Amino acid sequence: MQQIIKWSRENLFATRMNTLLSLVSLWLIYVTIEGVVSWAFINASFLGADKSSCMVRPHGACWPFVTAKFNQFIYGNYPAAEQWRVNIVFVLGALGLGLLMAVRINFKKQLAVLMLTAYPVLTFILLSGGLLGLSYVETNQWGGLLVTLVIAVTGIVVSLPLGILLALGRRSELPIIRMMSIAFIEFWRGVPLITVLFMASVMLPLFLPEGMNFDALLRCLIGVSLFASAYMAEVIRGGLQAIPKGQYEAGKSIGLSYWKSMRLIILPQALVISIPGIVNTFIGLFKDTTLVMIVGIFDLLGIISFHFTDPNWTSPQVPITGFVFAGLVFWVFCFAMSHYSKSVERRFSVKGVNK
């Protein structure tokens, strides 16, 4: 307790100005917390089957809207009888990531390889069906958090290795490779993501031969992945430029080839240095998935907004509650990525990788 008092005196109440600012800040924090608690809990509606339950308490959150539509917020229009397939994908993904992040295991490398190779294939088979006796589910029935995670995870998994190759290509001594990499990166960085999605979903089919078409979600995945890879390439390039020249020369002096030198010496250090930028790109990509609503793909935010028009739930508090729920979901995922990146940075800092 004495340490808290001492810290408060030194940091919050050391001068008159600090005291005034601290008191004003504490008052603002109190008002904010009091308003949030009042809206989300005290004046909120928790039970009900339609808007009438929320009209009784018009100044609080309408949580019955979230509970009534929760299934569609997670799965979209995915057939109810087949939603166990989505649950398996979620459980396997969470279990695999949990083991990779939190537990020290001897087969972590093998598990990482499985998560990058076998897991995507299994996910595609389970979600799409058409194989192993599973009924086929078209992607236009996918929606909600399922689509958000599919787009985000695909973009993350594809953009990182592609971004590394583009970063190496931009620093290549071969002019043709360097120019092609620069052209690719600058093109995608110079175009807004919403334009990329519009071109992939609306304009691309116009240039394809008659009768030939790609799945709308697949076109979206390709556009997002290429867009994210350009930004990832610049993040990785910054890490490569931060490596001292002596590290490159050390690889050459012991007779390592270019690719071995990159794999064993340069890239491990560059990736550690780039962790904040990499995770920042991942978080930005995860939040940018909401733009797919513009091209008719209903992600979490899109399907929540769609249900605002349901006449059974036309209440003033329904949109606010829906957006708050979506914001909380996005915050949980983004905070988890940010928190894990800090733990990875500390781990490598202790090992002396980035010293």
| Digit-coded pLDDT (tens) for 285-344 | 999 999 999 888 999 999 999 999 999 998 889 999 999 999 999 999 999 999 888 888
Domain count, the chain: 2
pLDDT at 354 over 80: no
Q: Which two tokens stand for residue 333?
A: 């995922």
Residue 96 lies in a domain: yes
How many Å apart are CA 213 and CA 308, to the nearest integer? 32
- The stretch 129-137 carries a mean pLDDT of 90
246 shares its domain with 323: yes
Residue 288 lies in a domain: yes
What confidence score (pLDDT) does residue 321 get?
95
Q: How confident is the model at residue 103 (pLDDT cuts 50, 70, 90)?
A: low
What confidence score (pLDDT) does residue 78 get?
95
pLDDT tens per residue, range 230-267 = 999 999 999 999 999 889 888 888 888 888 999 989 99
Give the torsion sign (CA, 38, 39, 43, 46): negative
Q: Which residues of 325-351 are buried (b: 16+ CB within 10 A; e: fewer)?
A: bbeebbeebbeebeeebeeebeebeee
Contact 89, 147 (CB under 8 A): no
113 shares its domain with 174: no
Q: Which residue has the higher pLDDT, 194 or 353?
A: 194
> Residue 200 belongs to a domain with what CATH number?
1.10.3720.10
212 shares its domain with 326: yes
Which residues span the domain enclosing 346?
A: 70-78+142-351
How many Å apart are CA 222 and CA 197, to the nearest integer? 9
177 shares its domain with 92: no
| Amino acid code (one letter) for 180 | M
161 shares its domain with 305: yes
Q: How confident is the model at residue 135 (pLDDT cuts 50, 70, 90)?
A: very high
Most confident region among 4-18, 161-175, 204-218 by mean pLDDT? 161-175
pLDDT at 353 over 70: no
Residue 5 lies in a domain: no
Query: Residue 81: enclosing H or E segment and its boundaries?
Result: none
